[in-house]
Amino acid sequence: MTKHPDPIQTMLVAARRTQILDAAITVFSEKGFHRATIKEIARVAGIADGTIYTYFASKDEVLLAVLDRLNETTERGQQFVLGDEQDLKAFFRAYLQQRMALLWPNAEVFRAVLPELLVNGELRRQYYEQVLAPTIAVGEQFFQAQNEQLQITIPLTVRAIAGTLLGVLLLQLLGDEVVASQWEALPEVLTALFFDKVV
Amino acid sequence: MTKHPDPIQTMLVAARRTQILDAAITVFSEKGFHRATIKEIARVAGIADGTIYTYFASKDEVLLAVLDRLNETTERGQQFVLGDEQDLKAFFRAYLQQRMALLWPNAEVFRAVLPELLVNGELRRQYYEQVLAPTIAVGEQFFQAQNEQLQITIPLTVRAIAGTLLGVLLLQLLGDEVVASQWEALPEVLTALFFDKVV
Amino acid sequence: MTKHPDPIQTMLVAARRTQILDAAITVFSEKGFHRATIKEIARVAGIADGTIYTYFASKDEVLLAVLDRLNETTERGQQFVLGDEQDLKAFFRAYLQQRMALLWPNAEVFRAVLPELLVNGELRRQYYEQVLAPTIAVGEQFFQAQNEQLQITIPLTVRAIAGTLLGVLLLQLLGDEVVASQWEALPEVLTALFFDKVV
Amino acid sequence: MTKHPDPIQTMLVAARRTQILDAAITVFSEKGFHRATIKEIARVAGIADGTIYTYFASKDEVLLAVLDRLNETTERGQQFVLGDEQDLKAFFRAYLQQRMALLWPNAEVFRAVLPELLVNGELRRQYYEQVLAPTIAVGEQFFQAQNEQLQITIPLTVRAIAGTLLGVLLLQLLGDEVVASQWEALPEVLTALFFDKVV
DNA sequence: AATGAATGAGAATTCATTCAT
DNA sequence: TATGAATGAATTCTCATTCAT
């Protein structure tokens, strides 16, 4: 009858949820949301089918929780602090490095949710508002501070850059091995691409 | 008993296939491949469920045919010919304009197949080899002709640019309205981003 | 508007029915009644699906017509006439020879209808009355004429002999190669089995 | 998490399988394999459709399990031991009695599988090898021991006798009421038929 | 009469979810 | 809480039958 939040209980619940979400991400990214079955997620998590329903109301809720994890990671990444980089180029490179380092370990989570994201309006709205919009806003503020003139193109420019990050991740997910093998060189290349002349 | 290809017959078959594929793209983009049912595709196409199986062996084959349509469109786009643009920048802008004009009407087709692409290895391989790899190869040749020095970064640079195209398309699919409303301005913005200094 | 039976017309119809039934027997015995499709029967017959329905009201009717053919063949066989065999044993051998020679070419027809016969009451009744009962009746009359004493066992004895014929056919259909390869020796062996002492 | 075979669990599983197989045999014999639906088997078994798939991978597997049951019964019958019958005729009568007593309760199982047996190569091979071939082999050994001279006809003679058993069963399945009502008299009649002179 | 595309009822199978133990 | 057997709605696919040409 105790309604007081028992700290040990809370931790156990969190641990179980993590265990289930890890399994879900694995299975979702291998098979996609629909081909993934509760049975297999349970198997990978080492628990019984029914147990998942003690922690999540439905399969959809599991997906939402995976998305939440992606959001949380991104939010943590949002707290980007400028080091003592001297110039804009150096700053940009550092920013890219951090963002892409964040993207890499989340690639499979991304693969797990993207399909549903593209197709499920509610999920898409949630992802856009919680992950993309803030990222883009940060970028817009940044450019606005730097550049007072070309304000009209700033929104598109920021989206182009954000798009590039999404795009190279997508290329990797689609099987491009150059991107996969040289992921760490990308910040440098992108910085050069954006800040130096192409030719 | 005639086995000779009857031209009228061939056209009727092509028309029916088109009718079914149009419906499939609509439903796939709205609901995703798995939530889309043959019943609904048939309803949208205005035919009976079973009729789809006269033209496609399975639901998977319908998806493959949708992907093929994407491929064909891309191939047509591959036959890009330089006008009399004076400099590289102008050429690049023209190239982007053409590519993005191609991407726009295919956005929904892309939304329809991308989810499965991420998750279905065979489909992914086919898409990568037939669509992405040629596009990237064209870009690499182009840069190689222009620039003999920075060869090591060329592959990544080309992928960054290709990724940017994919990325902005993805942003639009994820609900970004700035990209959607200013799609036509993107070639100019991207050209500026890549060829002029950012700031 | 002519209702007069046109003899040429009648022959054409009969020829088409034969063509279809031949195809049906082939496909039924290969795949069984249910796995056989009208499409395949039509293909084997070299006509279009729909055409079958000009000659038969339904797939069931095709099966009934196959059964009819079996019946007709049997009836023809019923008109067994005693040659000038001297003794009972010789007569019996001759009878078996004739019956089994009849059974052999009909084995596939038998394979085609037996499954449905076992399971479809109406079909079974029809087959029993038109084929089995007369055959058994002939046997009973024969034995009655020979043997006045053991009347009680005659019905069972006749059925045992009829059963033996059915049974060896079934063995062959079930893949027994000895029966298949020595089919023609069976009348002799059976006569010996029934008329001589086993050991 | 225990993978040790839990005896209670094992029994429950066996009971459910039996329950499903009993229902399957009933429905198969009534309607034949193809007209029988999983829905109806489930209804007869008093469970939900889906439950069948917890115990059998497919409808085909259900049929195979029915066949297995037939095999097991037959194998048990194979362990025929001679009592103290004095002569061959008495032995043969006892053998027939035992075989036919075995056949009778399995008649419906036989009706359930025979149609598919005739038409499904793999099933047929399995049945022939596991049921018929051993039975025939036993018979051949038996005759060989008795009779050294007429070896050439032994294989056919044994098949004729085996065929007689199959054949009278088939007659019964095809609706013959004399065989059905006097089943128990058959061993005596057959023994007389084979060991005494017909007339 | 012949054709074969179109139809849609019906079947096997899957799997999220429930619930008795 | 954990379990996993049971459930049955939903889905893909098949195919006998129809009918416009």
Q: What is the mean pLDDT of each run of 10 residues along chain A (199 residues)?
A: 69 93 94 94 97 96 91 70 68 87 88 88 87 87 73 86 94 93 93 77
Q: Which long-range contacts (CB under 8 A, 24 or more apart) does A17-24 make?
A: A17/A55, A17/A56, A17/A65, A19/A45, A19/A46, A19/A47, A20/A45, A20/A47, A20/A52, A20/A55, A20/A56, A20/A62, A21/A62, A21/A65, A21/A66, A21/A69, A24/A62, A24/A63, A24/A65, A24/A66, A24/A112
% of chain C exceeding 90 in pLDDT:
44
Is residue B7 included in any domain, yes or no? yes
The pLDDT confidence band at residue C26, using thresholds 50, 70 and 90, is very high
Is residue D61 included in any domain, yes or no? no
Q: Which residue has the higher pLDDT, D109 or B146?
A: D109
Residues A139 and A44 in one domain: no
Q: What is the DSSP string of chain C?
A: ---S--HHHHHHHHHHHHHHHHHHHHHHHHHHHHH--HHHHHHHHTS-HHHHHHH-SSHHHHHHHHHHHHHHHHHHHH-----S--SHHHHHHHHHHHHHHHHGGGHHHHHHHHHHHTT-HHHHHHHIIIIIHHHHHHHHHHHHHH-SS-GGGHHHHHHHHHHHHHHHHHHHHTT-HHHHHTGGGHHHHHHHHHHS---
Residue length of chain C: 199
| Torsion region of B40: left, alpha or beta (phi above 0 gives left; psi -120 to 50 gives alpha) | alpha
Shortest distance, CA D1 to any CA of chain C (angstroms): 43
Q: Is the pLDDT of residue B79 over 70?
A: no
Which of B9, B25, B56 is at the close of a domain?
B56
Give the phi and the psi of residue A56 in degrees, each rounded to 5: -135, 140
Segment D154-166, tens digit of pLDDT: 899 999 999 999 9
Of the candidates B129, C190, C199, D70, the one whose C-alpha atom is nearest the C-alpha of residue A175 is B129
Residues B128 and B51 in one domain: no
Residues B185 and B90 in one domain: yes
Distance in angstroms (rounded) separating the CA atoms of residues D40 and D23:
9
Average pLDDT over residues B6-21: 90
- Contact of D91 with D142, CB cutoff 8 Å: no
Q: Chain B: list its partners (3+ Cβ pairs within 8 Å).
A: A
Taking contacts as CB-CB distances below 8 angstroms, the residues of chain C near D198 are 88, 92, 157, 194-195
Q: Is the pLDDT of residue B55 over 60?
A: yes
Closest CB to B185 among A92, A136, A156: A156
Distance in angstroms (rounded) separating the CA atoms of residues C127 and C135:
11
| Axis crossing angle, helix C88-103 with helix C154-173, rounded to the nearest 10 | 40
Of the candidates C155, C166, C89, C157, the one whose C-alpha atom is nearest the C-alpha of residue C127 is C166
Residues A93 and A143 in one domain: yes
Segment C76-87, tens digit of pLDDT: 666 655 555 567
Q: What is the pLDDT of residue A79?
A: 63
Taking contacts as CB-CB distances below 8 angstroms, the residues of chain D near C32 are 34, 115-116, 118-120
User: Tell me, what amino acid is at D63?
Assistant: L
Shortest distance, CA D49 to any CA of chain C (angstroms): 22
Taking contacts as CB-CB distances below 8 angstroms, the residues of chain B near A149 are none
Taking CA atoms, D35 is separated from C115, D45, D59, D159, in Å, by 12, 17, 12, 32
- What sign results for the dihedral spanned by CA atoms A178, A181, A182, A184? positive
Residues B38 and B77 in one domain: no
Assigned token pair, B194 = 């890549």
Closest CB to B174 among A127, A155, A179: A127
Q: Is the pLDDT of residue B191 over 80?
A: yes
Q: Which residue has the higher pLDDT, D118 or A4?
A: D118
CA neighbours within 13 Å on the CB side: how many for C167? 25
A153 with B192: Cβ contact below 8 A:
yes
Nucleotide nearest to A62 (CA to C1'): E16
Nucleotide nearest to B46 (CA to C1'): E6
Residue to test with chain D: of C136, C171, C190, most D Cβ within 10 A: C171
Is residue C100 included in any domain, yes or no? yes
Q: What is the pLDDT of residue A1?
A: 47
Residues D46 and D107 in one domain: no
Segment C59-76, tens digit of pLDDT: 999 999 999 888 887 776
Angle at A175 between CA A170 and CA A179, to 5 degrees: 70
Q: Chain A: list its partners (3+ Cβ pairs within 8 Å).
A: B
Taking CA atoms, D198 is separated from A44, C27, C190, D160, in Å, by 72, 41, 12, 16
Distance in angstroms (rounded) separating the CA atoms of residues A67 and A73:
10
Shortest distance, CA D129 to any CA of chain C (angstroms): 10
Whether CB of A50 is under 7 Å from strand E: the answer is yes
Segment B80-108, tens digit of pLDDT: 555 555 677 888 888 889 888 888 888 98
Judged by 3 or more CB pairs under 8 A, whether B touches A is: yes
Q: What is the pLDDT of residue C46?
A: 97
Q: What is the pLDDT of residue B33?
A: 93
Distance in angstroms (rounded) separating the CA atoms of residues D176 and D170:
9
- Name the DSSP class of B118: T
Is residue B92 included in any domain, yes or no? yes
Q: What is the pLDDT of residue D2?
A: 46
Nucleotide nearest to B55 (CA to C1'): E5
The set of strand E positions with any atom below 7 Å of a protein CB reads 1-20
- Contact of A56 with A20, CB cutoff 8 Å: yes
Q: What is the pLDDT of residue B194?
A: 87
The count of other CB atoms within 10 Å of the CB of residue A5 is 7
Q: What is the pLDDT of residue B2?
A: 46
E strands of chain B, at which residues? none
| Torsion region of B32: left, alpha or beta (phi above 0 gives left; psi -120 to 50 gives alpha) | left
- Contact of B159 with A168, CB cutoff 8 Å: yes
Segment C182-198, tens digit of pLDDT: 999 999 999 988 888 65
B34 with A34: Cβ contact below 8 A:
yes
Is residue C12 included in any domain, yes or no? yes
C156 with D124: Cβ contact below 8 A:
no
Distance in angstroms (rounded) separating the CA atoms of residues D74 and D68:
10
CATH code assigned at B45? 1.10.10.60
A164 with B164: Cβ contact below 8 A:
yes
Residues D96 and D33 in one domain: no
User: Tell me, what amino acid is at A133?
Assistant: A
D189 with C160: Cβ contact below 8 A:
yes
Residues C106 and C11 in one domain: no
Closest CA to the C1' of F10: that residue is: B37
C32 with D120: Cβ contact below 8 A:
yes
Q: What is the pLDDT of residue A71?
A: 80
Segment D145-197, tens digit of pLDDT: 776 665 668 899 999 999 999 999 999 999 999 999 999 999 999 998 888 86
Torsion angle (degrees, nearest 10) of CA A157, A162, A164, A165:
160
Distance in angstroms (rounded) separating the CA atoms of residues D145 and B140:
86
Residues C50 and C85 in one domain: no
Q: Which residue has the higher pLDDT, A49 or B127?
A: A49
Whether the model clears a pTM of 0.75, i.e. scores above it, the answer is yes
Of the candidates A111, A93, A99, the one whose C-alpha atom is nearest the C-alpha of residue A170 is A111
Q: Chain D: list its partners (3+ Cβ pairs within 8 Å).
A: C
Q: What is the pLDDT of residue B77?
A: 63
Give start and end residues of each alpha helix (H) in chain A.
Answer: 7-35, 38-45, 49-55, 59-78, 88-103, 107-117, 121-127, 133-146, 154-173, 177-181, 186-195
Whether CB of B1 is under 7 Å from strand E: the answer is yes
Is residue C150 included in any domain, yes or no? yes
A114 with B111: Cβ contact below 8 A:
no
Total structural domains within chain B = 2
C32 with D198: Cβ contact below 8 A:
no
Q: What is the pLDDT of residue B1?
A: 44
By three-state DSSP, how is residue D60 classified? Answer: helix
Is residue D136 included in any domain, yes or no? yes
Which residues fall within 8 angstroms of residue A165, CB to CB, at 6 or more apart?
A96, A99, A100, A103, B167
- Name the DSSP class of D63: H
Q: Chain C: list its partners (3+ Cβ pairs within 8 Å).
A: D
Residue of chain C minimizing CA distance to D163 = C167
Residue length of chain B: 199
CA neighbours within 13 Å on the CB side: how many for A9? 6
Of the candidates C168, C191, C198, C113, the one whose C-alpha atom is nearest the C-alpha of residue D165 is C168
Closest CB to B115 among A29, A115, A153: A115
Taking contacts as CB-CB distances below 8 angstroms, the residues of chain B near A199 are 88, 146-147
Which of D56, D85, D103 is at the close of a domain?
D56
The distance (Å) linking the CA of A74 with the C1' of F1 is 33
The distance (Å) linking the CA of B53 with the C1' of F13 is 8
User: Residue C81: which domain range?
Assistant: 72-198
Which residues fall within 8 angstroms of residue D94, CB to CB, at 6 or more apart?
D82, D83, D85
Give start and end residues of each alpha helix (H) in D36-87.
Answer: 38-45, 49-55, 59-78
Closest CA to the C1' of E19: that residue is: A50
A32 with B115: Cβ contact below 8 A:
yes
Residue length of chain A: 199
The distance (Å) linking the CA of A164 with the C1' of F6 is 50
| Axis crossing angle, helix B186-195 with helix A154-173, rounded to the nearest 10 | 80
Shortest distance, CA D52 to any CA of chain C (angstroms): 23
Whether CB of C129 is under 7 Å from strand E: the answer is no
The distance (Å) linking the CA of C112 with the C1' of E2 is 27
The count of other CB atoms within 10 Å of the CB of residue D181 is 12
Distance in angstroms (rounded) separating the CA atoms of residues A44 and A40:
6
Is residue B64 included in any domain, yes or no? no
Q: What is the pLDDT of residue C1?
A: 47
Residues B115 and B84 in one domain: yes
Q: What is the DSSP string of A135-186?
A: HHHHHHHHHHHH-SS-GGGHHHHHHHHHHHHHHHHHHHHTT-HHHHHTGGGH
Taking contacts as CB-CB distances below 8 angstroms, the residues of chain A near B173 are 118
Taking contacts as CB-CB distances below 8 angstroms, the residues of chain C near D163 are 163-164, 166-171, 179
Q: How far apart are the first and last CA of chain A?
A: 72
Shortest distance, CA B153 to any CA of chain A (angstroms): 7
Find where tokens 């870009």 sit: B139
- Name the DSSP class of B110: H
Assigned token pair, A164 = 């590039």
Closest CB to C153 among D119, D160, D189: D189
Q: What is the mean pLDDT of chain D?
A: 86
Average pLDDT over residues C7-13: 87
Residues A132 and A40 in one domain: no
Residue length of chain D: 199
Find where tokens 């596939």 sit: C108
The distance (Å) linking the CA of D39 with the C1' of F9 is 13
Residues A107 and A178 in one domain: yes
Which residues fall within 8 angstroms of residue C103, CB to CB, at 6 or more apart?
C110, C165, C169
Distance in angstroms (rounded) separating the CA atoms of residues A131 and A68:
10
Judged by 3 or more CB pairs under 8 A, whether A touches C is: no
Element (H, E) at B101: helix B88-103
Taking contacts as CB-CB distances below 8 angstroms, the residues of chain A near B168 are 159-160, 163, 167
Nucleotide nearest to B48 (CA to C1'): E7
Shortest distance, CA B195 to any CA of chain A (angstroms): 5
Taking contacts as CB-CB distances below 8 angstroms, the residues of chain C near D174 are 117-118, 124, 127-128, 132
